[in-house]
Amino acid sequence: MKLLAFDTSTELISIAVTRLVDGAPRVWVHTGAGGAQASSALIPAIETLMAEAELGYAELDAIAFGRGPGSFTGLRTACAVAQGLGFGANVPLLPVDTLLAVAEEARARQAPQEESLRLLALLDARMDELYAAPYAYAAGRWQQGADFCLCKPEQLPLSDSQALAGNVFAEYGERLAAPAALPRWQALPTATAMLRLAPQLLAAGNAVAAADALPRYIRDKVALTTQERAAAKAAG
């Protein structure tokens, strides 16, 4: 399978391309600074990686992108680039939930031999909040439990999770409503995780036409008001 995947939902840009070489899958990877640089850096980095893999866009079976939740600007950037490439090459798009990619990245790094696993995937939502979703892994497949939630660190919905995974521990570690003994695995939604998820998602019929690809926002508020910032500063 020939796939391109990328994510710009966090402070990093993650891109990966895969195709068969001599009958075996090979992966090309790029990681770089995201944030404000994502909009200008993403397309050149993709073009470089596609050239290294000696692939044309029309040869791809699908283009996977991180649809959210995450940085508003990052999600719009990834979706817009995916749509442009998909329209131009007539290739289907595969929107991937970023928290699912976090779960898969954590599993691959921390528990690759585990046949079953339950974890809570977390991403920093800024504004003193987290994005969270529970996932269960079994028989080589992921299933999501409850829907995404946006909550304070003290309101974490633990359920029966065996571990926490994400990028929130440096900022909110001491405030998380979780037992200290519960493993905390640093993980981001990487493009390589998306490549591993792609076969299951494609088989489930999750590919869409470029016109139907959209970011997934969990919050409709971009920043705190002046009054809210002043109140938070006074409380601190």
pLDDT band, very low/low/confident/very high, at 37 (cuts 50, 70, 90) = confident
Please compute, for residue 45, the number of CA atoms within 13 A of its CA located in the half-sphere on the CB side. 26
Task: Give percent above pLDDT 90 in the chain.
Answer: 84
- Positive or negative: CA dihedral 56, 60, 62, 64: negative
**Tokens 């980095």 belong to which residue?**
45
Q: 48 with 14: CB under 8 angstroms?
A: no
Task: Give percent above pLDDT 70 in the chain.
Answer: 93
Over residues 177-206, mean pLDDT: 96
What domains lie within the chain, and their CATH numbers?
A: 3-98+189-212 (3.30.420.40), 99-186 (3.30.420)
Over residues 53-65, mean pLDDT: 98
Return the structure tokens found at 201: 């998602």
**Separation of alpha carbons 189 and 69, rounded Å:** 10
Per-residue confidence (pLDDT) for residue 131, from 0 to 100? 97
Residue 63, pLDDT > 90, answer: yes
Residue 16, pLDDT > 90, answer: yes
Residue 225, pLDDT > 50, answer: no
Per-residue confidence (pLDDT) for residue 160, from 0 to 100? 87
pLDDT band, very low/low/confident/very high, at 109 (cuts 50, 70, 90) = very high
Beta-strand runs (E) in the chain: 3-7, 12-21, 24-33, 62-68, 93-97, 116-124, 130-138, 141-144, 149-151, 163-166, 184-186
User: pLDDT tens, 120-167?
Assistant: 999 999 999 999 999 999 999 999 999 999 999 999 988 789 999 999
Q: What dihedral angle (degrees, nearest 10) is formed by the CA atoms of 152, 154, 158, 159?
A: -90
**Tokens 């200290």 belong to which residue?**
180
